Structure formats: C-alpha cells, structure tokens
Structure 1
Amino acid sequence: MISTQHEALHRVFRDNPELCTSVFKVLDIPFPSPTEVAVVDTDLTEIKPIERRADTIMMFTSLEGQHAVITESQSKPDDRKTAAWAHYISHVHVKFGCPVTLLVICQDEATAGWAALPKTIGLPDWPTLSIRAVVVGPHNIPVIDDLAEAVNDVVLTMFSALTHARSKEVAAILEVLADALDTTDTTSAGHIAEQTEVGLGNTDARRIWRDLMATKTYRYQSEYAQLLRAEGEAKGRAEGKAEGKAEGEAVGEAKALLRMLDRRGVVVPDVVRERILSCTDTTVIDTWIDRAVHATSLSDIFGIDDEQPEQG
C-alpha cells in the first residue's frame, strides 16, 4: 500500500518544480535551465498488460529542447524495480522522444546505496540494458541549518529535512525551516509546512515539527497547528487533566481536518461531519489528516466508496 509519506517525497517535486534544478545544482550535475515545466500523465500502462505507474513525471523545456525527469520515492531496496524502471524510462523516451533522467529519493543511506548501483538486464558480463539513476538522500543532500541559507531556498531546506528525517541533524534543520517560512508569503509557507508534516512520516522528526508548530507562533501556521494548540490548551486549562488535553487535541484536529476538506472542495455530509467531530482517537484523525493533504474525495481519506469513515 502506498503511504502518504511515499507520496509526499515525490509530490514535493511536482508541487515545487524549481526543487529539481536546485537538487541537480547541489549534486553538480549539469541540467538545462528550464523555460517551462509541465507535469505529465504518470500512467505508463500499455493496452493490456501489467499496469505500470510512475510516481511523478515532469517535462522540462529549455533552449536545448525537452527533457523528462521521472521521480521515484524509494523506502527500501527492491530488485523488482529494475524491470519497472526500465519500462518507465523506455516508455517515456518513446512517447515523448526526448532524453529521460530517473531521479530516486531515499531517506536512509542503505536504500540510497542500493538505488545508486547500476541496474542491468541481460548477461552479467554483457548487459543489454543498464539503468543508472540520480539518487538523492541523506548522503548527498546538505544539512541546511543556517537561517540565511534556509531563507535563500526554503523548498530545498524542506527537502533537506525530508531526506534527513532519520538523522540526528533533522531537529536543527526543522528549526531553521520554521523560521525561514516566516519570511515568505503565508499561503506558500502554509503549504510547505503541510508538505513537511506529511513527508516526515511516522518518525521522531514529525513529532519535533509538530511541537514547533504547536508551541511557537508563526504567521503562516496551518489551521491544523493553530487549532491543535488552541483547542488542546483551552481544554487542558478547563479540566486540568491529561485526558482533557487529549480530548481537546482530538477536537482541534477534527476541526482542522474539516477545514482542510473545505479548502479542497470536498463535500462532507452532515453524518460524516458528526462522525469526524465525535472521534476521540488522535491517531485515527492524524491518519485522516495525512490522507487529506492530497485528497479530492472522501474515499481518498477513508478508503471506502460510501461516505462513512471508519470509527475512531
């Protein structure tokens, strides 16, 4: 099952195309300066056979022509990817008639080391096809913990946090990212803050980020963070008990989820709204919020076709 963290690691390029140029620059890999960037259909399925769907495919147009970049999020070594990646590359090359680069994003060095190895098809000493991906991860994306550097490129700083999510340096990166976002427009900053939350996945880094959002005041803070803090503190003060604070957090998260759905134009029937607001399990609501980041319908969040969320 594809996780929301998996989605965030490649969608960050789709939502912030300039990140691709920044990453290639960091890796000292020449890449044409784009005059236009477009996200293209990721469905690479043929008429009948096995379905093949890449994570993200972007088309960069420059004075030198077009160049496709296939972006894949990889959480662990998987030798089955050799066939899948070979299909993606050849299909995109034939379909668009342009050079193709495979960019693989990893959050740990073991997976990055595996992904960086040439993937071959054919005889061991005479491969018919060899795949060499551009691999990014904690081994080659810099730790950005300087505020001036973070302000200069907040998207790259966010990506630094995502790739170093399991590194001890992530706390320092998140600190400067939070401050750097306060220097940009609130709409963009709020969107990047949400992408950071999802991309960090179920890690200690996500808890560090949530603490930053809940304990500090930033003008860009997402409604989720503001409501979580306000409702949690208010309920905690009123009841003076841990369970009161937990209940307040659940109410805050539920309201934040409903407002996120409203912003995305997802219609929420009264019966579903009541179920969401009555859920007291913050873990369940957190899962719904993660899914809501890219949701276009209730089924994207609750994993069902009808409009009844699972009980929390």
Structure 2
Amino acid sequence: MPSADHELPIALLKDQPALAPELLQAVSGIKPPECEHIGLGSDSFTDNYPTEYRADTVVILGEPKRPDLAIVVENQLRPDPRKRFVWPVYLSTLRARRECPVTLLVLCPDKATSAWCRMPIETGHEGWALRPWVLNLAEAPAITDVEKARALPELAILCTPANADGPHQREVLTAFAEALEVTDRDRGSKYHDYVRSKLSEAARDCLEEIMQADVYEWKSDFALKYIAEGKAESLFTVLKSHGFAIDDELRRRITACTDPQQLDIWTGRVAKAQTLGEIFD
C-alpha cells in the first residue's frame, strides 16, 4: 500500500499542476514556457503488450492538443533499478503521444536517493542518455513570502518540512499557515496532518502559537476549526485547574463548538465562576 510520504507530494501536484514547472525551474534553472493552460495528462503509458507503464503523474503545459511541454513527475522514495529502464519508456511514449518536448522531474526524500536518481541513464544509443532533473525534498527552498504561499499554496506545503527548523522558522510556518488558509477544508486538514507529522516538537509548538495568535485574522473553515480545537483544549485545561469536573456531555459541547470567540468567552468566565452554569448558561 503506498505510503503518505509517496502519495502526499503527488496529491499536491495533482491538486495544483502549476507546481510542476515551478519545481522544475528550481532544480534545472530552465524557465518553462509561460502557458495559460497547465493541466494533468494521462499517467498511463500502456502499449499493445500486457505490461503497463504508469508514472506518478504527468503535467501538460499549453493547449492539450498542441502542448508546449510535458513533465513526467515521479516521487522516488528509494533507489529502484527497474526505474532506469522504465523512465525512458515514459518519456519516449509521452513524446510520441503528445508530439511535444518532454522532461522528467523526480522528487526524492534524501541525499542518497537523489544522487542515485541523478545518475545518467545510458540507453545504448550513442549520445542518447537520460539525465533526470531531481529535487531533494530535504533541501527544498524555504517559502517565507506570504503572498507567494497564498498564490501557490501547494509549493509552501511541500517545502515546509525541510525548513521548519531553519533560521526562518516563524516565517516558514506563517507562510504554511497562510497556504492552509486558502486551501479547502478537507485538503487543508490532510496537508496539515501530513506536514505536522514531519515537524519537530519545537516547530509544532511554533505553528500552534501562530495559528492561535490574535494578530492573524484567519477566515477559512479549516483555520477556524483548527483554532477552535486548540482553544477547546485550553478550556479543558483551565476548567480542570479550577476544579471543575468535565462529563461526557460537556466535553461533547465544547468539542463541537467551532466558534473561537465563544470558546474565549467561556474560558474568560472560569476564574470567577462557582458553578458550570455560570460559565456555560
């Protein structure tokens, strides 16, 4: 079963195909053609024989019927000698199908896998060697520009784990939070959980502080839900510290509240209250 480490970066690309040329330019220095249309292509390269060749994803730049460039994107978690035979198949088949330039972009989690993927693939024909463009996600560029994070949130999400403990931690995590702000609730929750699982305890604490800070006016459903969850946990802690018992019904009521302001009101009443009714009625 594919792991989250494999599936989440590919999901980001499928959610936002414009991420592919951005990453390609970052690792190759080559500026892809500027196209109004950037979309997904078929990732299946089946021929007339039983063998099926399937890439992780394919991004098409330009008009689908007359593309300017096609990018095959692979997320390679570890060396796999078989890929040195199938990657050239992906490119040659896609080039024949689309009749356009093609290139290969490989995402890797570490230096060793990146070095293996960068090795030229000699096809046997003189002068014909495939040299994949490779991005080591552990060295992904830091995204600290809030406007860029909001314009291309998938880029900020993909690059956050590598930079969350760097010298610009707060800026990186703020950009990540802003990226989630413009991402719909279901995807935002999925991406948040994935990135958070990659963060150190210090980075998680910093992200929590940013999301709960009053200086930011978060508006998305995901952000408000996340903030409410944090405030609910704080309310539970305050209630317990003042000796109030929390039964299942009260826990459900607090947990179900998605209004951060209401949670703040309840929390503010605790210090002077003698009964739960004075807090919640």
Same fold at TM > 0.5: yes
The residue correspondences of 1:13-162 to structure 2 (distance < 5 A) are: 13-27=13-27, 28-61=29-62, 65-66=66-67, 67-122=69-124, 130-138=129-137, 141-145=140-144, 147=146, 150=149, 154-162=153-161
1:217-241 deviation per Cα after TM superposition (whole angstroms, max 9, x unaligned): 533361652453244334444455x
Q: Distance in 1 between matches of 2:61 and 2:230?
A: 41
Match of 2:229 in 1: 228
Q: Aligned-pair distance for 1:56?
A: 1.1
Match of 1:216 in 2: 212
1:100-134 deviation per Cα after TM superposition (whole angstroms, max 9, x unaligned): 11111123222222222212344xxx668522211
SS of residue paired to 1:101: strand
Greater Cα shift, 19-28 or 65-74: 19-28
* Structure 1: unaligned runs, 5 residues or longer: 256-312
1:146-185 deviation per Cα after TM superposition (whole angstroms, max 9, x unaligned): 55665675443333225x2686458345323146448xxx
Q: Distance in 2 between matches of 1:179 and 1:200?
A: 11
1:3-41 deviation per Cα after TM superposition (whole angstroms, max 9, x unaligned): 123112122222223323333443420311112122122
Q: Aligned-pair distance for 1:200?
A: 3.0
| Off by >6 Å, runs of 4+ in structure 1 | none
CA contact (8 A) 2:20 2:73 kept: no
Mark the CA change 1:165 to 1:193 in structure 2 (over 3 Å): closer, same or farther. Answer: farther
CA contact (8 A) 1:150 1:176 kept: no
Aligned pairs, how many?
243
Greater Cα shift, 150-159 or 90-99: 150-159
SS of residue paired to 1:188: coil
CA contact (8 A) 1:165 1:203 kept: no
CA contact (8 A) 1:106 1:135 kept: yes
Match of 2:4 in 1: 4
Q: Aligned-pair distance for 1:195?
A: 5.7
Match of 1:177 in 2: 175
The residue correspondences of 1:159-308 to structure 2 (distance < 5 A) are: 159-162=158-161, 164=162, 168=166, 171-172=169-170, 174-178=172-176, 180-181=178-179, 186-188=181-183, 193-194=188-189, 196-197=191-192, 199-200=194-195, 202-205=197-200, 208-209=203-204, 212-213=207-208, 216-217=212-213, 218-220=218-220, 222=222, 225-226=226-227, 228-239=229-240
Aligned letter for 1:10? I
Q: Identity, % of aligned pairs?
A: 20
Q: Distance in 1 between matches of 2:186 and 2:168?
A: 20
Q: Aligned-pair distance for 1:57?
A: 0.9
Q: Distance in 2 between matches of 1:181 and 1:161?
A: 10
Q: Distance in 2 between matches of 1:227 and 1:34?
A: 41
CA contact (8 A) 2:212 2:227 kept: no
* Structure 2: unaligned runs, 5 residues or longer: 257-281
Q: Distance in 2 between matches of 1:78 and 1:31?
A: 28
Task: State the superposition RMSD in angstroms.
Answer: 4.2
Mark the CA change 1:166 to 1:181 in structure 2 (over 3 Å): closer, same or farther. Answer: closer
Match of 1:308 in 2: none
TM-score, normalised with respect to structure 2? 0.66
1:225-278 deviation per Cα after TM superposition (whole angstroms, max 9, x unaligned): 2453244334444455xxx99x9xx989x98xxxxxxxxxxxxxxxxxxxxxxx
